[in-house]
Amino acid sequence: MKLYNSLTRKKEEFVPIEEGKIRMYVCGPTVYNYFHIGNARPFLIFDTFRRYMEYRGYDVNYVQNFTDVDDKIIRRAQEEGLDSLEISEKYIEEYFKDADALGIRRATHHPKVTDTMPDIIAYIEKLIEKGNAYVSGGDVYYDTSTFETYGKLSGQSLDDLEAGARIEVNEQKRHPADFALWKAKKPGEPSWPSPWGEGRPGWHIECSVMSTKFLGETIDIHAGGQDLIFPHHENEIAQSEAYSDKPFAHYWMHNGYININNEKMSKSKGNFFTVRDILAQYEAEVLRFFILSAQYRNPINFSEALIMQASNGLERLYNAKENLLYAMETGEDAPLTVTEVEILSGLRRHKERFIEALDDDLNTADGIAAIFELVRDINSNLQDSPTRAFAENAYELLMELAGVLGILGREKGGLDAEIEALIAERQDARKNKNFAKSDEIRDKLKAMGIVLEDTPQGVKWSKVK
């Protein structure tokens, strides 16, 4: 498998530190609100990466943190008149509701900053001892001048970064690019005791410590959104490699942005959407399918037209699934024919193309194209009275690939009991040659958005928009 490594800016063959195992850290949410569609992309993408690597036989130790100490959480708590930890616990619970709906599996570990405080303090102490950090007025800062390769991830030198003004000007810092490891307590803020006085950790140190605690000093993959390259991931590298004198992560994976109707998502533009907002209008699986329909490093545009296109595409796959289930129920209970054996061999070539696509830097767009090609060939061969064994083999292949992407998990196409009963009633009417009744039910189903097709293999149905 080849991965695009943001650190080297090229695709590289993936070689794990330990054969058959992957240690992976993905930056999780800051829990002060429902997560938005931009957050959803890395959560979904790297969930899919994990699924795929497990599919290929790897044991993946997958860590995704919760930042539950942050300025945004403190402000939200003050607005709502709650304790900041009450706010973070509330939105951790809400995160899991939306993540579960999107098919995002639980990480191996979901550490929280508040549970890691002793480790964070010990980590900072070591950086001070090694001369990479200094105390200033109750704060602790990382001295970027002590790390010779600072800027290697973002591709900017320390001089460029200092001139670029993307840094906080603070008289307590020795250098403009230095960043806080520990912040002295301010009125109304949560705090913890430390050797430097009451305070709380800075954002960057939290992820370094949680990664080290659960995965070790050097990990295989660190991942997150493109917006985290600088300063967050740049600072993680500096403090982690100064701490251990070892490489922090061998591969850095970053997903591209999501735009809304070809514009950058922004609250000021009124085009800011949480996943909870979107799930009020669209099925969660449609959003998952939409996000996976583009290669993860490319920007992706969210619009009503494109989400409906994704919905229609997903429905085509569900129709294929349901047609196979029907063929499994009604097909002849006989061994595979010679022709069917040959057809199944051809179908398995689509699996090879699917694997080739995902081996090429997790190209889910081409992987989905391989699934559609598989469905096309399955559909064309269901016209020839397949055996039950053929339908079962084709179904297993379709669901194997869909499972890697976390799609097609909905049972029986989501038809409610009334529609299922009408289809069965129409089948009885046709058997009894009551064609007037049969046509009446067909028209009723069409009005409900269900179109029927009578084939030599039995009735097939599809949803219309």
Q: For residues 336 and 393, give the distance between their C-alpha atoms in angstroms, rounded to a whole number.
A: 10
236 is in an annotated binding site: yes
Q: For residues 167 and 457, give the distance between their C-alpha atoms in angstroms, rounded to a whole number.
A: 67
254 is in an annotated binding site: no
- 3-class DSSP state of 292: helix
Q: State which H helix or E strand residue 286 sits in.
A: helix 284-292
> What's the Cα-to-Cα distance from 134 to each of 57, 199, 230, 233, 408, rounded to whole Å?
45, 15, 22, 21, 53
Q: For residues 217 and 59, give the distance between their C-alpha atoms in angstroms, rounded to a whole number.
A: 18
List phi, psi (to 5°) of 442: -60, -45
Q: For residues 284 and 300, give the distance between their C-alpha atoms in angstroms, rounded to a whole number.
A: 17
Instruction: Copy the structure tokens of residue 58.
Output: 């790897």
Q: State which H helix or E strand residue 185 sits in.
A: none
Pairing label, strands 59-64, 450-455: unpaired
> What's the Cα-to-Cα distance from 444 to each of 234, 418, 424, 428, rounded to whole Å?
60, 11, 13, 16
| Strand ranges for 388-427 from DSSP E | none
27 is in an annotated binding site: yes
Q: Which residues pair with 32 in a beta bridge?
A: none
Closest CA to 287 of 60, 63, 35: 35
18 is in an annotated binding site: no
Q: What is the DSSP string of 342-393?
A: HHHHHHHHHHHHHHHHHHBT--HHHHHHHHHHHHHHHHHHGGG--BHHHHHH
| Strand ranges for 226-294 from DSSP E | 249-255, 258-260, 263-264
Closest CA to 330 of 376, 269, 387, 383: 387
Count the neighbouring beta carbons within 10 Å of the beta carbon of residue 234. 23
Q: For residues 292 and 313, give the distance between their C-alpha atoms in angstroms, rounded to a whole number.
A: 12
DSSP 202: -
- The CA-CA-CA angle for residues 424, 427, 428, to 5°, reads 90
Instruction: Copy the structure tokens of residue 430.
Output: 């046709």
Binding residues for Zn(2+): 27, 207, 232, 236
Binding residues for ATP: 267
Binding residues: 27, 207, 232, 236, 267
